Structure 1
Amino acid sequence: MKLIYVFDAYCGWSHGFSPTIREVISLHPEVDVEVVSGGLFTGSRRVPIREFGYVQGANAKIAELTGAEFGEAYDRLIADGSFVMDSQAAARGLAALRQAAPARAAELATALQHAFYVDGLSLSDPAIYRKVAERTALDADDVAAALEAPETRAAAEADFARAVELGVNAFPTLLAAAGRDITVLARGQATTDDVERRLAAFAATRSS
């Protein structure tokens, strides 16, 4: 069995889910985790944040329900409404980090979200990936080189295609997969207890 975590680095609900995904993984260190960037803000949705009038209201709801932190630096970044969330750039950055430490992909995904939502750093800025690499004890030069490689751009596009293949159109979505059997453990907000209960039920069906 493995877990498949489909998220978007620019998705506030994914940010709110960060503590849950970290806790679930810590409870199941033996389980492989595939992390997939979903591509929420691509194509025609790659526009100034002012076009999404619901963002600040949604963030308040996310903070209320999950305890997620939205930092002052983030508030300053988006204050004038001109910031553009580019999920392709963020997915490419995750792919570069993931290449350096595949087994830590979920940790790196949550680190990226902290960089944006708490530290107010643009995930379109290549320098951010050096910062995240240094914070997570990865080789920053290796990550910077990977970021520019054509294979990394291809990996980001492959993630988007993987999300479509899995039928995921809401983020975050956490799946459990065993062979051809796949079940949804979480979509949007969920607690660790919610996920654990669903995971146990899925495991029980596999053993019965």
Structure 2
Amino acid sequence: MQLVYVYDAYCGWSHGFSATVREIAARHPELPVEVVSGGLFTGRRRVPIREFGYVQGANEKITELTGAVFAEPYQRLVADGSFVMDSEAAARGLAALRAVAPDRVVESATALQDAFYIDGLSLSDPATYRKLAEALGLDADAVVAAFEAPRARADAAADFRRSEELGVSGFPTLLAVDGERVVPLARGRATADEVDARLGALG
């Protein structure tokens, strides 16, 4: 059995779930974790953040329910309104980090979210991945090269297809996958204890 975590780096609810997914991965080192980028802001949804008027209210709810922090640098992006969230670029970034450090994918995925929601950095900017790689102790040149390589685009598209094939309709979604058996463990939000209880019930 493995865990499959389908998220989007630009999804506030996924940011709110970061602590839970890190805790579950730490509690269950015996379970491989696959992290899949979902593709929330692609195509016609790739527009300035001001187009999403619900963002502020949603973020306040996420903080209330999960304790997630939306820091001042990110708040300035929201206030300005011109920033464009591009989930394809974020998915390429995860693919690059995953390629360089496949055994640290949960850490990398949540670090990507912190880069945006805490530090206010663009996940389309190669400099963001250089900074992330250095903070994670990875080869920064290798990560940036992987982000800019054609393979990252193909990997991002493959992630979006994988999300669809798994039937995921919202982010974050945490699944237990055992062969053909796919069991949802969390959708939207859950505590680590709640996820653990559902895992335990699988037998």
Establish whether TM, by shorter chain, passes 0.5: yes
What is the SS of the residue equivalent to 2:200? Answer: helix
Structure 2 gaps, min length 5: none
In the alignment, what sits opposite 2:40? 40
So what's the TM-score if we normalise by structure 1?
A: 0.96
Task: List 4+ stretches of structure 1 deviating above 3 A.
Answer: none
What is the SS of the residue equivalent to 1:53? Answer: coil
What is the SS of the residue equivalent to 1:5? Answer: strand
Q: Deviations over 1:60-114 (max 9, x none)?
A: 0000000000100101122121111000000001100110011111110000000
In the alignment, what sits opposite 1:144? 144
In the alignment, what sits opposite 2:27? 27
In the alignment, what sits opposite 1:86? 86
Q: Deviations over 1:148-188 (max 9, x none)?
A: 11111100000000000000010000000111111000000
Q: Which amino acid aligns with 1:198?
A: R
What is the SS of the residue equivalent to 1:79? Answer: helix
In the alignment, what sits opposite 1:171? 171
Query: How far, CA to CA, are the matches of 1:52 and 1:78 in structure 2?
Result: 10
Query: How far, CA to CA, are the matches of 1:183 and 1:127 in structure 2?
Result: 38
Q: How many residues align?
A: 203
- Following superposition, the deviation at residue 56 of structure 1 comes to 0.5
- Following superposition, the deviation at residue 51 of structure 1 comes to 0.8
Segment of structure 1 superposing worse, 76-85 or 32-41: 76-85
What is the SS of the residue equivalent to 2:80? Answer: coil
Segment of structure 1 superposing worse, 4-13 or 71-80: 71-80
In the alignment, what sits opposite 1:188? 188
In the alignment, what sits opposite 1:113? 113
So what's the TM-score if we normalise by structure 2?
A: 0.99
Query: How far, CA to CA, are the matches of 1:124 and 1:143 in structure 2?
Result: 13
Query: How far, CA to CA, are the matches of 1:139 and 1:4 in structure 2?
Result: 26
Structure 1 gaps, min length 5: none
Query: How far, CA to CA, are the matches of 1:148 and 1:15 in structure 2?
Result: 25
Query: How far, CA to CA, are the matches of 2:57 and 2:114 in structure 1?
Result: 19
Task: State the Cα RMSD in Å.
Answer: 0.6
Q: Which amino acid aligns with 2:36?
A: V
Query: How far, CA to CA, are the matches of 2:102 and 2:77 in structure 1?
Result: 30
Query: How far, CA to CA, are the matches of 1:150 and 1:125 in structure 2?
Result: 16
Query: How far, CA to CA, are the matches of 2:50 and 2:151 in structure 1?
Result: 33
Query: How far, CA to CA, are the matches of 1:179 and 1:162 in structure 2?
Result: 15
Query: How far, CA to CA, are the matches of 1:82 and 1:141 in structure 2?
Result: 29
Query: How far, CA to CA, are the matches of 1:169 and 1:137 in structure 2?
Result: 34
In the alignment, what sits opposite 2:12? 12
